[in-house]
Structure formats: structure tokens, C-alpha cells
Amino acid sequence: MKVISIILIFIIPYFSIAQGTITGDYQGLLKLENTTWSQGQAFYMRITAIAGLIDGESREEVVGENTFINKKVLGSFENKKSFEITQNTILKSSNGSANTCLLSMSFHFVDSNAYWVGTFKSQKCPSMKGSLILYKTRIELDQDPTPLHDHRWVTRFQEDLEFGLSAPEKRPQELKNFAFQSIYFEYNKDEIPSNYFSYLNLMARMILGHSDLRIKVVGNTDSDGSDTYNIDLSKRRAEAITSYFISKGLSKDRIVISYDGENKPKDTNKTAEGKKRNRRVDFSFI
């Protein structure tokens, strides 16, 4: 299977990919020192790790072009969360010349986001040094002269990094473990208290990481004031959350809002504490 749709790459449950092993297929970005990931180039790798030794192949592609170079890699590892490899020969190149800028790379696994983060350098080409960030993939590496995959995935991955998303293989478990909590507002206010920003950021990242996911935002109030006023206030609270999500990269069509005024209290409206729990916005995935 040479080409796999980028949509399937992000939807297929990545926990079916072998976890806790170095052996596997990788894709990601390679960037030079003092540049950003937005300037990174496509990088693929297939390696087998056995008895402390690594054998495999890497491929670099220039985004938007048919320029590529496949290199043999050898390396070693002492544990399942770090390894070192060196490109030691050119296997195939689009320009047909022997590129002497062979790279030495060092990687470590980041538990919090499931990316493999690395650095590289070249003994013969001092300017060739920088960083890599990779994740386990289902794209199979080969030496075909055409790109292994439509390079639009590079732009998507650059956006993922900008939004702080975890690697695709980690996202299903993150979604499974995600717990909703209400956002509570001050009396007669629709401004989001700043202590909720980190939680809202996490929720936005969760939605951005799943292309088939939308969020429902439901505004509520306590019983003080008229029905008409409270419906409007609950709407403003839901809209405040919506605006915040949009500022974090969510498109408006992935957000559905509802507003119930005082009609769906979580607690009694006969006490100050109960009213405080009713001045809220609730969430659900749809």
C-alpha cells in the first residue's frame, strides 16, 4: 500500500500501531537550525530495532517538488524511548548525485504528546544541523521517484504543532480520558474567568485533533432577573465561549450553541451557593 489518504491517517486508531517499540514507520518534519517548523521538509523513516542495534532507511522530500533522497541508516539504542542513527550511504536520489551530507541523528520519545523529537548534524556539512519531530505512521517508505504522499499533510502537521496537538496515535486515548467540566460565571457577567483558559485550551485542542468532532456549548443563568433577560445573558455566555474557541483555531461550523436561561438549573436557586453553580456554560461532543 503505497499511498494512504491523510484523512485515514488521522482517523484510523493509532493504538493498533505497535506501542512501546522503536521498530516501525515514521513520518514528520526536518528543519534547519534557526528556522521554524513552518519551513520544515518532509521526512520519512522505516527502522527495525533488535538487540540494541538499528537497521533501516530514511527519505527526505522537498515539499511541493519531486525532489527526494533515500539513505541507508544504522544505529543503536539502550532503551525503548531513545535511539541514535547515522545515514551511511545514498540508496537513491532524484538528482542522481552522491549527496555527501549524511546526517547523524539522536531521538527521544516525549510521553506527554507521543512525538519522537530529535536533533541532527553532519560532519562534512557544518551548516546541516537542526531538529526533527516524527510520529508513528502507516505510510510505507519506498524509493519511488514520486512523493510518498500528497504534501498537504505537511501543512496539516505544521498546524498541529502550532496548536499544540499530540501525535495521532495518542489522540484516541486523550479523547477517551477527557472529562467535561462546567465554566462558571460571575453574577450578571458574560466574561470568561481567566482561571478557565487552560481548560478551554485543552478542549479546543481535543476538537482540533479529531476532524469528525464538534462541540455543543450551552449557556445557563441563575433565576435572578426576568426570563427574557436571562435568555439573553445565557446566550452571551455561550457566545463568549464560542469566540474564545474561534480565537484558538476552531472554525465556527464546528461549534453549536444553545442557551437555556434559568430553565435548566444544576442546583437550587434558593441559596447563594446554588445560584453560583447555575451561572454556567456546559459542554458535550456531538
Give the whole-angstrom CA distance, residue 273 versus residue 275. 5
54 and 109 share one domain: yes
For 189, the domain range is: 178-285
Question: Of 163, 186, 210, which residue constitutes the final position of a domain?
Answer: 163
191 and 134 share one domain: no
Inside any domain, residue 44: yes
Alpha-carbon distances of 282 from 120, 222, 253, rounded to whole Å? 46, 14, 18
Q: 7-21, 49-63, 153-167, 204-218: which has the minimum mean pLDDT?
A: 7-21
204 and 271 share one domain: yes
Q: 8-12, 216-220, 231-235: which has the minimum mean pLDDT?
A: 8-12
277 and 189 share one domain: yes
Question: Of 130, 163, 196, which residue constitutes the final position of a domain?
Answer: 163
56 and 144 share one domain: yes
Mean pLDDT of 46-66: 96
In the structure, what pLDDT confidence band is assigned to residue 100 with cuts at 50, 70 and 90? confident
194 and 143 share one domain: no
122 and 191 share one domain: no
Residue 58 φ/ψ, nearest 5 degrees:
-125, 160
Instruction: Count how many domains the chain has.
Output: 2
Give residue 64's region: left, alpha or beta (phi > 0; psi -120 to 50): left
Question: Of 163, 194, 224, which residue constitutes the final position of a domain?
Answer: 163
18 and 133 share one domain: yes
Tell me which amino acid residue 189 is: K
11 and 128 share one domain: yes
- Residue % of the chain over a pLDDT of 70: 92
Please, what's the b/e burial string for 109-145 (b: 16 or more CB within 10 A of its CB; e: otherwise)?
beeebbbbebebeeeeeeeeebbbbbbbbbbebeeee
Mean pLDDT of 242-252: 97
- In DSSP terms, 41 is beta-bridged to 30
20 and 148 share one domain: yes
- The answer, yes or no, to whether residue 20 has pLDDT greater than 80, is no
47 and 152 share one domain: yes
Inside any domain, residue 168: no
252 and 281 share one domain: yes
- The answer, yes or no, to whether residue 99 has pLDDT greater than 90, is no
pLDDT score at 98: 55
The CATH number that applies at residue 204 is 3.30.1330.60
- The answer, yes or no, to whether residue 14 has pLDDT greater than 60, is no
- The answer, yes or no, to whether residue 96 has pLDDT greater than 80, is no
pTM of full prediction above 0.75: yes
Give the whole-angstrom CA distance, residue 169 versus residue 167. 6
User: Per residue in 106-132, pLDDT tens?
Assistant: 999 999 999 999 999 998 898 999 999
Inside any domain, residue 236: yes
